[in-house]
Structure 1
Amino acid sequence: MTTASNLERILISIAALIASIFVGGIVVLAAGFVAQCSQPVLFFPGVGYSCYNPVSVYLELFTGPFSNAGVFGETLQQTTILLLTGLSVALAFRAGLFNIGTQGQFVMGSMATAITVPLLASSLPGGLVGGLILIPLGLFVGALIGGLYGAIPGALKAYAEANEVITTIMLNFIATFLSLLIVSTWFKDPNSTNNTQTARIPDYAMLDSSIFPGDFSLVALAIALSLVAAMTWFLARTAFGYDLRISGIQEGAAAYSGVSAKKMTVISMGLSGALGGIAGAVYILMVTGRWMPTAPAFGFDGITVSILAGNNPVGAIFAAFLFGMLKVGRVAIDFNLDVPSQLVGVLRGLIILFVAMPEFFRMLGTRFNVGSNSAVATDGGEDQ
């Protein structure tokens, strides 16, 4: 896998997807034989009745997200946020760093946006003018706080030799409780007596969702796609992007060429955190309109998106869309089929596991230069 071409890796991923569907179908049938139901859907001579039809389950899983405009909007909403968190993780991976803290950066960025926008809304004009000021400002604040929070484990790794996996995991917990403390102490909505949450963001400062029903914005998707293009150009076409990749692949070579690996580590984690913070800001401005302590695990899901995409920004678009489909398809099955949600979670997990594991082993081989005496780039290509 470390020397596989892009086409070979795509074919491997397709084969892994087919294998996961086949294994998942067996799991569904086996669960159907032991389950109890009033109307079995399949009968196998000599085996018995099964309460679940794997074909129906998979059809609902993959077609449910497209059943109507509202559900499709939900799929695109999930895709947008997952794409941003996937980019966050991918950027760190391309620098040779494991940012497991995107969830914490997501939480801190969302909190900063949810606090800043309502505070400034009272002193700014409303309507279109206010929205044009507050929306970019909310995104900037989310990126700033997320970036600063991401730079902390980068600095700890660079100057204290602390493992970034451990520090980012711990900072996820810190972000959860620190944000709860800040909001409950200073920025709690005075009109909310029982729930710890910030004041509601004005409607004119929310990302518009008029095209599709539900909480989805084409503007938010356009922002995410713009960041994909920017990150692709940054990594492939700029000297700084090249230095970022080389500092993670060959620290000695980077130092020989005058690049400070320590400085690059801090910057890389900061940029990664900024993308996580933007994801949190988009979540607030597009979905909830206020900070609440029950933030979904988009940051952790971003790790899966990045691995599925091979840390490629363009590939992250398709990986995020697949993962968004699976999340929404699970809800469609809950509504339309008498299948336990736990079983649907197993199917989704199998699909992700089978598709991600080949890429995961490729990344491990890349990191330890398995199968090659030359340095291997984080994107799978050899560094000449």
Structure 2
Amino acid sequence: MRRRFERLLRRLLRASALERVAISTAALVTSMLIGAVLVFVAGGFASCRVGLDIAGWTFCYNPMQVYYELFLGALGHPLEAGWHPLNFWMAKTLQQTTLLIFTGLSFAVAYRAGLFNIGTQGQLVVGSLTTAVTVLYAAAVVPGGLVGMLILIPLGVLAGAVAGGFFGAIPGALKAYGGANEVITTIMLNFIAVGITSTLLSWKFQDPDSSNPKTAPVPEYAEIPNIPYVGFDDSVSFSLLALVFAVALMIGLTWLLTRTSFGYELRTSGTQPEAAAYGGVDEKRMTVASMTLSGAIGGIGGAFWVLMVHGNWLKNVPALGFDGIAVSILASNNPLGIGVSALLFGTLESGSQNISTATDVPQELVGILSGLIILFVAMPEFFRMIGGRYVDVGNPDPARADGGETAGADGGEADA
């Protein structure tokens, strides 16, 4: 059984890009079929006036309608008359996509260096509060209007990056100089980030005009503006400039990782640490640097969450950092692929909210559908990621490494 599993992992690791797309597509179809059965069966236990009657049993939920709202509803129902691309649901989808690009890139950078940064959520939380506070205090001395916008927005993003980078450097230093496991330290720092920011909010930065736990709103001119004549629905806080910046960051990181000496050292230290050390790469310095860069990107995501979505810092920060882990894994930790992966997650998030308003399907069931899709689509890449660490791809048949046995010893089967 172990040999069969290892052979399966090898075939998965050697799969071409087209084969991996086919596997992901098959996984998506399978998850949708299972989800459709769950929706249909759950509808049999719900109460409704109109439904499908089968053998005296009324089924209230239509799986086809659910998936229609989940995927096409997230785009504003493009098949219906009067559809416009700058609609509410499209803006909602792209808003989530933009934020998830940042958190996905944060995890991907650390992983390419051989590190698991589970602390993107904490880095985002710290970066977002730092952004809000920095912009609020700077606005008192910076003039308003266009000048204020050109100063405060870059300043806020920079503040978020610095704070997130510092919070990411802590587990990097603990890993490099103390041998601490970065998975454990980043998970613990997530809780520390929540505690620190909540304490600072109640102690110093609480909005005096609100009973809700949040900071005062930043000036309107400090929020990321819409591109003229390309404005989305005003009821959704989304700016195409933010998405353009996120895509530019994807391209920039791809160039950094593949075309610079820093990127080469980062990737080599993650995939071939012995070769990197032989080539003179300072492993400790690279560990701290990669975690700092990863945390800085997470902090930038927090900055955009404040300056684009809310206009202030709220105590209940959504789990964008944890979602970014799944986004990155689905994209094989490839910066360019993260854009497509983030779009899928953004579609599921927006479509899930659309189902709740357009159908009677409970939110808990919608969450199960989204979770099934994410699980099935991401699982092949997860196995590739784990298998790449423990399976020798260069050995085509694990049985031959055990003293010359052949695959036929497993029951006459030969490797295809």
Smaller-chain TM-score bracket? over 0.9
Is 2:335 aligned against 1:316?
no
Is 2:186 aligned against 1:168?
yes
Post-superposition offset of 1:182: 1.4
Is 2:303 aligned against 1:294?
no
Total equivalences in the alignment: 371
Equivalent position to 1:196, from 189, 192, 213: 213
Superposed counterparts of 1:43-54, under 5 Å: 43-44=53-54, 46=55, 48-54=57-63
Aligned to 2:400: none
Q: C-alpha separation between the residues in 1 aligned to 2:136 and 2:25?
A: 46
**Alignment-mate amino acid for residue 43 of structure 1:** D
Post-superposition offset of 1:29: 1.2
Q: C-alpha separation between the residues in 2 aligned to 1:56 and 1:370?
A: 46
CA contact (8 A) 1:209 1:215 kept: no
SS at match of 2:13: coil
Post-superposition offset of 1:91: 0.9
**Alignment-mate amino acid for residue 101 of structure 1:** G
Superposed counterparts of 1:195-274, under 5 Å: 195-209=212-226, 211-213=231-233, 214-274=236-296
Q: C-alpha separation between the residues in 1 aligned to 2:392 and 2:63?
A: 39
Is 2:113 aligned against 1:103?
no
Q: C-alpha separation between the residues in 1 aligned to 2:367 and 2:103?
A: 21
Is 2:39 aligned against 1:28?
yes
Equivalent position to 2:75, from 49, 66, 79: 66
Question: Higher mean Cα deviation, 180-189 or 24-33?
Answer: 180-189
Equivalent position to 2:362, from 340, 345, 351: 340
Superposed counterparts of 1:124-135, under 5 Å: 124-135=142-153
**Alignment-mate amino acid for residue 235 of structure 1:** L
Post-superposition offset of 1:185: 1.2
Runs of 4 or more, structure 1, over 6 Å off, are none
Equivalent position to 2:20, from 5, 9, 13: 9
Is 2:199 aligned against 1:181?
yes
**Alignment-mate amino acid for residue 34 of structure 1:** F
Change (3 A) 1:2 1:220: same
**Alignment-mate amino acid for residue 297 of structure 1:** A
Aligned to 1:136: 154
Change (3 A) 1:372 1:63: same
Any stretches of 5+ residues in structure 2 without a counterpart?
1-11, 77-83, 397-416
Post-superposition offset of 1:238: 1.0
**Alignment-mate amino acid for residue 21 of structure 2:** I
> Identity, % of aligned pairs?
56
Question: Higher mean Cα deviation, 364-373 or 286-295?
Answer: 364-373
Post-superposition offset of 1:265: 0.8
Question: Higher mean Cα deviation, 23-32 or 97-106?
Answer: 23-32
Tell me the TM-score normalised to structure 2 length.
0.87
Q: C-alpha separation between the residues in 1 aligned to 2:303 and 2:185?
A: 23
SS at match of 1:75: helix
Aligned to 1:379: none
Q: C-alpha separation between the residues in 2 aligned to 1:48 and 1:231?
A: 56
Aligned to 1:380: none
Q: C-alpha separation between the residues in 1 aligned to 2:389 and 2:288?
A: 20
Q: Deviations 1:53-75 (Å, cap 9, x if unpaired)? A: 11110001001112161121111
Aligned to 1:117: 135
**Alignment-mate amino acid for residue 17 of structure 1:** L
Q: Deviations 1:312-368 (Å, cap 9, x if unpaired)? A: 111111110110010010111100101011110000000000000000000000122
SS at match of 1:34: coil
SS at match of 2:214: coil
Aligned to 2:49: 38
Q: Deviations 1:23-67 (Å, cap 9, x if unpaired)? A: 111111111122222222x234x4833111111100010011121
Q: C-alpha separation between the residues in 1 aligned to 2:337 and 2:49?
A: 44
Tell me the C-alpha RMSD between the 2 structures. 1.4
Post-superposition offset of 1:370: 4.3
**Alignment-mate amino acid for residue 182 of structure 1:** L
CA contact (8 A) 1:95 1:249 kept: yes
Q: Deviations 1:209-258 (Å, cap 9, x if unpaired)? A: 46112200111111101100001111111111011011011211110000
Q: C-alpha separation between the residues in 2 aligned to 1:171 and 1:350?
A: 29
Q: C-alpha separation between the residues in 1 aligned to 2:168 and 2:325?
A: 15
**Alignment-mate amino acid for residue 49 of structure 1:** T
CA contact (8 A) 1:2 1:370 kept: no
